[in-house]
């Protein structure tokens, strides 16, 4: 499933030209990321919007934090994050075994680093976005915990000329159901590209679906899943599907976007930062206690 994609937020664009070997895809990229404060809970990182108030709010903050720990601790696994890949034949590994498909490459990378994490390959060959809507509840319902959700769908829609509004609505519906079932999951959207058989208007509009979805859902965008693989006869079994070597390259591409998300959810990293944070709280508490004693001494001297 090849074509053209564009990330309007980060200035990333992809172009193509027809050659005998297929589509020749080039890319320009830029990047950036926004940082937000995090609270360490039971070895996991969770987004925080808490504001610490001065004077007398210390106990309130501590109580709130304890309640948040209780609420979230069951969602943090000592085995690391569960990473669910939901897609079509590009994810399932057309003509390959699951152990050769790119999600398995991601798992091997995690293991090689000595990190914790479990990859689940929920790819299904031939799936459209509409079929994905019908399957997603069963897939996410089968997993108690989903920490990172990677969506790779829509290519079959594009090849069949499915109305673009339907594809976009179906993909959004899938994301909505994931967010409802696993509200703390990080979302990742893998962009796919299609050939210009149906005209440039359809092709370009199709390409814009993925960056727009990513922006609307605050998801990480992989601009083009098959970057460096598409159209290379040495890396594909046909005009669409990567071979084993191609999947290794795809896995490396995907890992560039997943690495930070996986690292944030490592139990060992979380515990180390948690201990550091607790030392800071203990230090602050001690300082506050000293100040309280000082106020008392002043009162006695004045009397």
Q: How far apart are CA 217 and CA 52, in angstroms?
A: 28
Tell me whether residue 89 is one of the annotated catalytic residues.
yes
**Which of 77, 89, 92, 186 is an active site residue?**
89
Q: Rounded to whole angstroms, what are the CA distances from 84 to 33, 46, 204, 295?
A: 23, 19, 28, 56
Catalytic-role residue among 186, 241, 247, 274: 241
Q: Residue 100 has what DSSP assignment?
A: G
- The angle subtended at Cα 177 by Cα 172 and Cα 178, nearest 5°, is 95
239 is catalytic: yes
Interior/surface letters 101-123, b for 16+ CB within 10 angstroms, e for the rest? bbbbbbbebbeeeebbbbbbbbb
Distances (CA, A) of 181 to 140, 144, 214, 278: 7, 9, 19, 31
Q: 3-class SS at 284?
A: helix
CA distance 142 to 140: 5
50 is catalytic: no
Residue 296 CB partners (closer than 8 Å, separation 6+): none
Active site residues: 89, 239, 241
């Amino acid at each position: 499933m090849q074509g053209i994609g564009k990330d309007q937020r980060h200035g990333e664009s992809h172009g193509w030209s027809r050659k005998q070997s297929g589509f020749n895809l080039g890319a320009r990229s830029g990047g950036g990321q926004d940082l937000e404060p995090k609270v360490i809970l039971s070895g996991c990182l969770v987004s925080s919007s808490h504001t610490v108030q001065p004077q007398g709010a210390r106990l309130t903050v501590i109580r709130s934090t304890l309640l948040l720990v209780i609420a979230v601790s069951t969602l943090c696994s000592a085995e690391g994050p569960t990473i669910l890949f939901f897609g079509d034949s590009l994810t399932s590994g057309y003509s390959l075994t699951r152990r050769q498909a790119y999600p398995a490459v991601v798992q091997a990378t995690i293991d090689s680093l000595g990190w914790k994490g479990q990859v689940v390959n929920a790819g299904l060959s031939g799936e459209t976005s509409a079929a994905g809507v019908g399957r997603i509840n069963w897939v996410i319902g089968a997993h108690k915990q989903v920490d990172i959700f990677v969506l790779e769908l829509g290519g079959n829609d594009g090849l069949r000329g499915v109305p673009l509004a339907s594809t976009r609505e179906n993909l959004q519906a899938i994301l909505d159901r994931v967010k409802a079932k696993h509200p703390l999951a990080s979302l990742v959207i893998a962009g796919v590209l299609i050939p210009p058989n149906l005209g440039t208007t359809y092709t370009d509009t199709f390409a814009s679906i993925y960056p727009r979805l990513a922006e609307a859902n605050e998801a990480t965008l992989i601009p083009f899943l098959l970057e460096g693989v598409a159209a290379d006869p040495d890396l594909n079994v046909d005009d669409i599907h990567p071979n084993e070597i191609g999947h290794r390259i795809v896995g490396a591409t995907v890992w560039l976007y997943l690495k930070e998300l996986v690292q944030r959810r490592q139990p060992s990293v979380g515990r180390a930062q948690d201990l550091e944070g607790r030392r800071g709280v203990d230090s602050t508490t001690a300082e506050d206690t000293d100040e309280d004693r000082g106020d008392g001494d002043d009162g006695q001297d004045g009397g």
